[in-house]
Structure 1
Amino acid sequence: MALRIGIDVGGTHTDAVILDGENRLVAAVKTPTTPDVTTGIAKSLREVIAAGKIDPSGIEAAMLGTTHCTNAIVERRRLSRIGLLRIGKPATTAIKPYRAFPEDLKKALGDIWFIVGGGHEYDGREITPLDEDEVRRAGEEMKRLHVEAVAVCSVFSPVCPDHEVRAAEILRETLDPDTPITLSHEIGSIGLLERENASALNAALIRVAETAVKAFREAMRDAGVEEAELYLTQNDGTLMNVEYALKYPIRTVASGPTNSIRGAAYLTGTRNGIVVDIGGTTTLVGALTDGFPRESAVAVEIGGVRTNFRMPDLIAISCGGGTIVKEGEGGVELGPESLGYRLVEEGMAWGGKTLTTTDVALAAGYAEINDPRCNPERLRGLDPKLIQKAVEKIVSTVEEAIDRMKTSPEPVPVVLVGGGGIIIPKSQYDKIKGVSQVIRPEHFQYANAIGAAIAEVSGEIDRIFSLEHETRTKALEDAKEMARREAVKAGAREETVKIVHVEEIPLAYLPGNAVRIRVKASGELAL
Structure 2
Amino acid sequence: MRIGIDVGGTNTDAVLMDANTVAAAVKRSTSADVTTGIVEALAALQEQRAFSVDDIDAVMIGTTHFINALVEARRLAPTAAVRLGLPATASLPPFVDWPEPLVAAMQGRAYLAHGGHEFDGREISPLDPDELKRHAADIAASGSRSVAISSVFSPINSELELQAQEILQAELGPDVAFSLSHEIGRIGLLERENATIINAALRELATSIVDGLASSVAASGLTAPLFLSQNDGTLMDMEYARRYPVATFASGPTNSMRGAAVLSGLDTCAVVDVGGTTTDVGVLNQGFPREATGEVLVAGVRTNFRMPDVLSIGIGGGSLVRENGALVGPDSVGYRLNTEALVFGGSTLTATDVAVAAGWAEIGDTGRVGHLSQEAADRALDVIATRVADVVERMRTSAAPLPVVAVGGGSVLLPEELPGLGRLHRPENFAVANAIGAAIAQVSGEIDKVYAISEGSRATVIDEARQEAVDRAIAAGAHPGSVEIVDFDEVPIPYLPGNATRIRAKAVGDLALTAVAR
TM-score interval for Structure 1 and Structure 2 normalised by the shorter chain = over 0.9
Structure 1 residue 262 and structure 2 residue 248: aligned? no
1:285-314 deviation digits (Å, cap 9, x = unpaired): 111011101111221111221111121111
Closer/same/farther in 2, CA of residues 179 and 489 from structure 1, 3 Å limit:
farther
Alpha-carbon distance between aligned partners in 2 of 1:379 and 1:38, rounded to the nearest angstrom: 33
- Note if contact 1:101-1:304 (Cα within 8 Å) is conserved in structure 2: yes
**What's 1:155 paired with?**
152
**What's 1:478 paired with?**
464
Q: State the Cα distance separating 1:36 from its structure 2 match.
A: 2.7
Alpha-carbon distance between aligned partners in 2 of 1:391 and 1:116, rounded to the nearest angstrom: 56
**What's 1:461 paired with?**
447
Q: Structure 1: where are the runs of 5+ without partners?
A: none
**What's 1:133 paired with?**
130
**What's 2:39 paired with?**
42
- Note if contact 1:504-1:515 (Cα within 8 Å) is conserved in structure 2: yes
Alpha-carbon distance between aligned partners in 2 of 1:178 and 1:474, rounded to the nearest angstrom: 43
**What's 2:329 paired with?**
335
**416-425 or 30-39, which moves further after superposition?**
30-39
- Note if contact 1:410-1:434 (Cα within 8 Å) is conserved in structure 2: no
Q: TM-score, normalised by structure 2?
A: 0.95
Q: State the Cα distance separating 1:52 from its structure 2 match.
A: 2.1
Closer/same/farther in 2, CA of residues 137 and 489 from structure 1, 3 Å limit:
farther
1:433-464 deviation digits (Å, cap 9, x = unpaired): 134x4210000000000000000011111111
Structure 1 residue 183 and structure 2 residue 169: aligned? no
- Note if contact 2:355-2:412 (Cα within 8 Å) is conserved in structure 1: yes
1:9 to 3, 7, 10: 7
Runs of 4+ with deviation above 6 angstroms: none
Alpha-carbon distance between aligned partners in 2 of 1:354 and 1:139, rounded to the nearest angstrom: 53
**What's 1:113 paired with?**
110
Identity of aligned residues (%): 49
2:317 to 318, 321, 329: 321
**What's 1:488 paired with?**
474
Alpha-carbon distance between aligned partners in 1 of 2:339 and 2:318, rounded to the nearest angstrom: 11
- Note if contact 2:20-2:262 (Cα within 8 Å) is conserved in structure 1: no
SS in 2 for 1:312: coil
Structure 1 residue 295 and structure 2 residue 286: aligned? no
Which residue identity lines up with residue 283 of structure 1 in the other structure?
A: T
1:19-42 deviation digits (Å, cap 9, x = unpaired): 12x232122111111233233223
RMSD over aligned CA atoms reads 1.7
Alpha-carbon distance between aligned partners in 1 of 2:280 and 2:108, rounded to the nearest angstrom: 34
Q: State the Cα distance separating 1:515 from its structure 2 match.
A: 0.7
Closer/same/farther in 2, CA of residues 364 and 515 from structure 1, 3 Å limit:
same
Which residue identity lines up with residue 313 of structure 2 in the other structure?
A: I
SS in 2 for 1:122: coil
- Figure out how many residues of one structure are paired with residues of the other and give that number: 513
**What's 1:355 paired with?**
349
**What's 1:246 paired with?**
242
Q: State the Cα distance separating 1:469 from its structure 2 match.
A: 7.3
- Note if contact 2:447-2:504 (Cα within 8 Å) is conserved in structure 1: yes
**292-301 or 380-389, which moves further after superposition?**
380-389
Alignment of 1:227-246 (within 5 A): 227-246=223-242
**What's 1:18 paired with?**
16
Closer/same/farther in 2, CA of residues 178 and 471 from structure 1, 3 Å limit:
farther
Alignment of 1:300-315 (within 5 A): 300-315=296-311
- Note if contact 2:203-2:245 (Cα within 8 Å) is conserved in structure 1: yes
Q: State the Cα distance separating 1:152 from its structure 2 match.
A: 0.8
Q: TM-score, normalised by structure 1?
A: 0.94
Alignment of 1:209-228 (within 5 A): 209-225=206-222, 227-228=223-224
Alpha-carbon distance between aligned partners in 2 of 1:324 and 1:294, rounded to the nearest angstrom: 31
Structure 1 residue 415 and structure 2 residue 405: aligned? yes
SS in 2 for 1:412: coil
Q: State the Cα distance separating 1:257 from its structure 2 match.
A: 0.6
Alpha-carbon distance between aligned partners in 1 of 2:146 and 2:339, rounded to the nearest angstrom: 43
SS in 1 for 2:191: helix
Structure 1 residue 399 and structure 2 residue 389: aligned? yes
SS in 1 for 2:57: strand
1:406-432 deviation digits (Å, cap 9, x = unpaired): 111222101110001111233xx1x53
Alpha-carbon distance between aligned partners in 2 of 1:346 and 1:69, rounded to the nearest angstrom: 26
1:463-496 deviation digits (Å, cap 9, x = unpaired): 1111137722122122112212221232222332
